[in-house]
């Protein structure tokens, strides 16, 4: 079972992963929505994720006045937490409510991308070649980062590639304005107020001027899209100029900060994140779950071999992950999977980082074919699936439109009861069968 949610990330935030960052700039890789298909557990994440839309809320002149009043009260709370008047004056002067941020925050995607579509973009030929170019251009600093933090340069580069297309889409929204808007908005006020305080602490520490503190609309900043609290916990001044600068064109501090983050979350150099495997005839699908691990040599005795047909080297305990259920790519995943997961908990994201890093290291594409004829269930369809499973006696422990472990267990139980392949995968076919 995966580790628990971090302090600020509530279960409700996790519940909304299906809506995550639907509105990143077009060339930026869209965050995977509803990717927790085959092995959804609770997660930690470096960033917030979005919630379904609430209808009927809009900004008015009255709303702006309320925002300014809120800002005045916030100033006092920030001062009480050690933010100096000069910092507050510099950072909060002229800050207005940004209704575009709220519009984006409320934007709920009903339909989500299946993992293969996500990976088509995450690990496109363009991204691979841009990544190779980035590796070449920054080879020296990436090697130094690898030597310092024990995180392979291809992994750091892959993360950079998925977060901001290697720094080319870092975002230009003023972070203070975005965070103040989201903190004023009632839905996750506590989380975003903490982020806003952290942002002010960063400014106060002299890492960045308020006008240079920009990023994506939801407050993620710089080349590797750190939220302010993650910045405070993990950002490093790698080039030694006295500032932790993840915003400027030079990516050294940002890339080192990302490596530091992965290292602090348990990255083991030399261990794969995951390896594509082939499953034998008669494979026991009940063993394909995050909580069940064996050594690769033990998996080999059960007929689970690398895609090339040999035993996977013993890199440590490993679980079998089937991102698209019994059809499509099968992965043997190691503890490094969890380290990437700490950056962003969606399976598709982790696989995207992992596979891109492998491609940058010269490895080949996945060999198995994805079930491209399928599509992912919509939010509404997931709720329907949960309702129908529960009514049929396979309790999903709630109807929330997300395919967490309880839903996967219910799907498995249903599949076992009906003699289907118990891969726990909530497919459209399964929903149609339940109908």
Q: How far is the CB of 211 from Ca ion (least distance, A)?
A: 18
| CA-only gyration radius of the chain, Å | 22
C-beta of 239 vs 381, nearer to Ca ion: 239
* Contact region with Ca ion (CB under 5 A), list: 61-69, 235-243, 383-391, 406-414: 235-243
Does residue number 241 form part of the binding site for Ca ion (CB under 5 A)? Answer: yes
Does residue number 239 form part of the binding site for Ca ion (CB under 5 A)? Answer: yes
Q: How far is the CB of 244 from Ca ion (least distance, A)?
A: 6
Q: How far is the CB of 173 from Ca ion (least distance, A)?
A: 23
Euclidean distance between CA atoms 338 and 347, whole angstroms? 10
C-beta of 192 vs 238, nearer to Ca ion: 238
Does residue number 117 form part of the binding site for Ca ion (CB under 5 A)? Answer: no
| Inter-residue contact 226 to 220 (CB < 8 Å) | yes
C-beta of 28 vs 230, nearer to Ca ion: 230
Does residue number 253 form part of the binding site for Ca ion (CB under 5 A)? Answer: yes
Q: How far is the CB of 260 from Ca ion (least distance, A)?
A: 13
| Inter-residue contact 401 to 382 (CB < 8 Å) | yes
- Helix H or strand E segment including 344: none
C-beta of 43 vs 213, nearer to Ca ion: 213
C-beta of 3 vs 243, nearer to Ca ion: 243
Q: How far is the CB of 215 from Ca ion (least distance, A)?
A: 17
* Interface residue with Ca ion, options 117, 146, 237, 395 (CB under 5 A): 237
| Inter-residue contact 182 to 220 (CB < 8 Å) | no
Alpha helical stretches, state H, 265-346: 296-301, 335-341
Of the candidates 118, 139, 133, the one whose C-alpha atom is nearest the C-alpha of residue 353 is: 118
Alpha helical stretches, state H, 138-188: 139-149, 153-164, 175-184
C-beta of 105 vs 253, nearer to Ca ion: 253
Q: How far is the CB of 222 from Ca ion (least distance, A)?
A: 12
Q: How many CB atoms lie within 10 A of CB 140?
A: 9
Q: Three-state DSSP class for 383?
A: helix
- Total residues in contact with Ca ion, by rule CB under 5 A: 6
* Contact region with Ca ion (CB under 5 A), list: 252-260, 265-273, 312-320, 424-432: 252-260
Does residue number 245 form part of the binding site for Ca ion (CB under 5 A)? Answer: yes
DSSP type of residue 226: B
C-beta of 250 vs 381, nearer to Ca ion: 250
Q: How far is the CB of 238 from Ca ion (least distance, A)?
A: 6
* Contact region with Ca ion (CB under 5 A), list: 103-111, 237-245, 257-265, 398-406: 237-245
Does residue number 298 form part of the binding site for Ca ion (CB under 5 A)? Answer: no
Q: Three-state DSSP class for 202?
A: helix
Euclidean distance between CA atoms 152 and 424, whole angstroms? 33
* Contact region with Ca ion (CB under 5 A), list: 38-46, 250-258, 318-326, 368-376: 250-258
Q: Which residues, at least 6 apart from 302, have a Cβ–Cβ distance to it below 8 Å?
A: 280, 283, 284, 287, 294
C-beta of 239 vs 374, nearer to Ca ion: 239
Task: Report CA torsion sign: 232, 48, 239, 92.
Answer: negative
Give the max Cα distance, the chain.
68
Residues that bind Ca ion (CB under 5 A): 237, 239, 241, 243, 245, 253
């Amino acid at each position: 079972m995966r580790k628990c949610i971090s302090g600020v990330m509530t279960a409700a935030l996790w519940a909304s992963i299906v809506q995550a960052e639907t509105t990143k700039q077009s060339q930026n890789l869209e965050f995977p929505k509803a990717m927790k298909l085959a092995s959804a557990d609770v997660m930690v994440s470096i960033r917030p994720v979005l919630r379904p839309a609430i209808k009927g809320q809009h900004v008015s002149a009255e709303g702006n006045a309320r925002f300014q009043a809120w800002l005045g009260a916030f100033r006092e709370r920030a001062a009480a937490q050690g933010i100096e008047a000069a910092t507050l004056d510099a950072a909060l002067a002229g800050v207005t409510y940004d209704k575009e941020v709220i519009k984006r925050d409320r934007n709920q995607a009903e339909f989500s991308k299946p993992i293969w579509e996500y990976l088509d973009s995450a690990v496109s030929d363009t991204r691979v070649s841009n990544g190779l170019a980035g590796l070449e251009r920054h080879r020296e600093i990436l090697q130094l980062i690898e030597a310092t933090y024990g995180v392979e340069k291809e992994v750091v580069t892959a993360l950079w590639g998925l977060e901001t297309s290697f720094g080319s889409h870092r975002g230009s929204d003023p972070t203070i304005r975005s965070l103040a808007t989201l903190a004023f908005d009632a839905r996750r006020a506590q989380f975003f107020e903490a982020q806003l305080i952290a942002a002010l602490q960063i400014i106060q520490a002299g890492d960045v001027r308020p006008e240079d503190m920009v990023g994506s609309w939801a407050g993620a900043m710089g080349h590797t899209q750190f939220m302010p609290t993650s910045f405070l916990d993990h950002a490093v001044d790698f080039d030694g100029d006295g500032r932790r600068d993840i915003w400027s064109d030079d990516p050294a501090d940002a890339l080192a900060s990302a490596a530091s983050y992965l290292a602090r979350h348990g990255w083991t150099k030399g261990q794969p994140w995951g390896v594509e495997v082939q499953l034998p005839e008669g494979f026991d699908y009940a063993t394909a779950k995050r909580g069940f691990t064996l050594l690769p040599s033990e998996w080999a005795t059960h007929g689970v071999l690398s895609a090339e047909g040999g035993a996977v080297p013993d890199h440590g305990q490993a679980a079998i992950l089937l991102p698209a259920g019994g059809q499509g790519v099968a992965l043997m995943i190691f503890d490094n999977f969890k380290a990437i997961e700490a950056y962003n908990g969606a399976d598709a994201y982790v696989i995207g980082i992992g596979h891109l890093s492998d491609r940058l290291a010269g490895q080949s594409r996945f060999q198995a074919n994805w079930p491209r004829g399928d599509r992912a269930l919509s939010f509404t369809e997931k709720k329907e699936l949960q309702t129908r499973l529960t009514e049929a006696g396979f309790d999903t422990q709630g109807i929330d439109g997300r395919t967490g472990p309880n839903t996967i267990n219910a799907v498995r139980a249903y599949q076992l009861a009906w003699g289907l392949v118990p891969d726990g995968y909530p497919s459209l076919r399964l929903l149609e069968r339940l109908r």
